[in-house]
Amino acid sequence: MSLPNPSKGWRSSSSRLLALYSFLFVAWSCILMGVLYYEVSDYLGNLARHSLMQRQHLFARFEGEQLDEALATSMTFDMRAVDAYGLFDEQHKPLSGPIQSIPQGLPLDGQIHALSSCIDSDDPNLPQDSCDAVATQTPDGRWLVLVRDNGSLFAVTRIILHALVWGLSLTIIPGIAGWHLLRRRPLQRIRAIQASAEAIVAGDLTYRLPLSNRRDELDMLAAIVNAMLDRIELLMHEVKGVCDNIAHDLRTPLTRLRAQLYRMRQQAVEGSPEALQLDEVIGETDTLMARFRGLLRISELEDHQRRSGFLQLDPLPLLQELYDFYLPLAEEGQVTLKLETPAALPGLTGDRALLFEALANLLSNSIKFTPPGGEVILRATDDNGSPRIEVLDTGPGIPEAERVAVFQRFYRVDDKHGGFGLGLSIVAAIVSLHGFSLEVNNRESGGAWLTLHCRQSLINPG
């Protein structure tokens, strides 16, 4: 059983909370910036129109030559490319001023109007972009056009906008950096907790979840889980001790009972009813003793202190020895046994005798359940730097609903082939001891397909 991977990136709770806070902060900043920009723009627009209206009222006090002199004098104080005027006769022909034609789209009604395109001219001293303009008729029948460019006043708006954008950027960048740093530490602690939890799930109850000096919520949860593990480990050891003591205590009287029965069988007349009954009782006693031996073997394998004797070994000689050992058994059952291995395989760390026992159980089961004329394949491949050993047969296969139950003690798919239901339990204990994983499937053409992944990803033996 493997644990799910920890959340990555934005999927973790801390990342989501930080992202939500950042989103709300940015959204609020954008709203604030928009409101400020709108208020400043509206204020500066009103200020520009009010300034142009004052110029209009000022020049309305003059007429004739006084107006001409006032307009000429105003050019000395006006800002170039911002303020401009044009004086036209009744036929709209230019008389004086830098503006030589009435701006297109400007109504001659004495009201201030906003123009998107002010004056079509190559003169850089004339307003070119958006502006406010007014055309008013003087007492002597001439037309006076006054123009004020909006760009100069709205430059203040652009300065404010740029300042807000830079301020927002300088806030977002540290925010993203802080989000990245703040989410890394919780994820590192979660990964450390997951590593310990995977070792516990693999069967090593001596592991505990790591604690830090912060004593935060994660430490509180880890401390609670560790207390539960302490209690579970104590109970497991008590139950295991009771079972082991029972098995050990019963093995001696069973051995004595078997010896007494054997002596009685030797004294009985060959072929008599008493001899037949004693043979049957001795057989049942042998079966009972074999079951006790199997239970004690599983209990021994579940003691993970045996990892201290693990060595680096080459799986190819081990597989060849298995093939040579079980080839006569396969030929006796009229089953074809094949060995498929590459020229070289990556090494693995483990106990050679235990691995031989586990693979022998898998291979003997496949030979036993394969009907005459069938085929059993012992195959090994290189799985990204670690061996992968497969046992395939053409037997009935293992139903999907029973692929987990077959590793339970005393479980048997059927009673036709005998057995105690402990073989695969021993295999599971050996696989767990090594930190390997065993995958149970069926071939598409029929038959079981057992795969032993020899990648020690959960625990470090020794």
pLDDT digits (tens, 9 = 90+) for 136-150: 888 888 888 888 877
Q: Per-residue confidence at 458, pLDDT binned at 50, 70, 90?
A: very low
- In this model, does residue 457 exceed pLDDT 60? no
| pLDDT attached to residue 375 | 92
Average pLDDT over residues 305-324: 82
| Number of H-type helices and E-type strands within the chain | 8, 12
Average pLDDT over residues 218-238: 84
Lowest mean pLDDT among 221-230, 329-338, 402-411: 402-411
Query: Distance (Å, rounded) from C-alpha 328 to C-alpha 317?
Result: 18
Query: Distance (Å, rounded) from C-alpha 199 to C-alpha 207?
Result: 7
Q: Per-residue confidence at 319, pLDDT binned at 50, 70, 90?
A: very high
Domain ranges of the chain: 1-200, 217-302, 306-453
Residue 354, classified by CB atoms within 10 Å of its CB into exposed (0-12), middle (13-18) or buried (19+), is buried
Second CATH level (architecture) for the domain 306-453 = 2-Layer Sandwich (3.30)
| pLDDT attached to residue 417 | 46
| Cβ proximity of 428 and 438 under 8 Å | yes
Q: Per-residue confidence at 60, pLDDT binned at 50, 70, 90?
A: confident
Q: How far is CA 224 from CA 190, 218, 306, in A?
A: 16, 10, 29
Lowest mean pLDDT among 264-278, 297-311, 352-366, 436-450: 297-311
CATH of 217-302, one of 1.10.150.120, 3.30.70.100, 1.10.287.130, 3.30.1330.10: 1.10.287.130
- In whole numbers, what is the pLDDT of the chain averaged over residues? 78
Q: Per-residue confidence at 390, pLDDT binned at 50, 70, 90?
A: very high
Residue 261, classified by CB atoms within 10 Å of its CB into exposed (0-12), middle (13-18) or buried (19+), is middle
* Lookup: tokens for 16: 């989501």
- In this model, does residue 459 exceed pLDDT 50? no
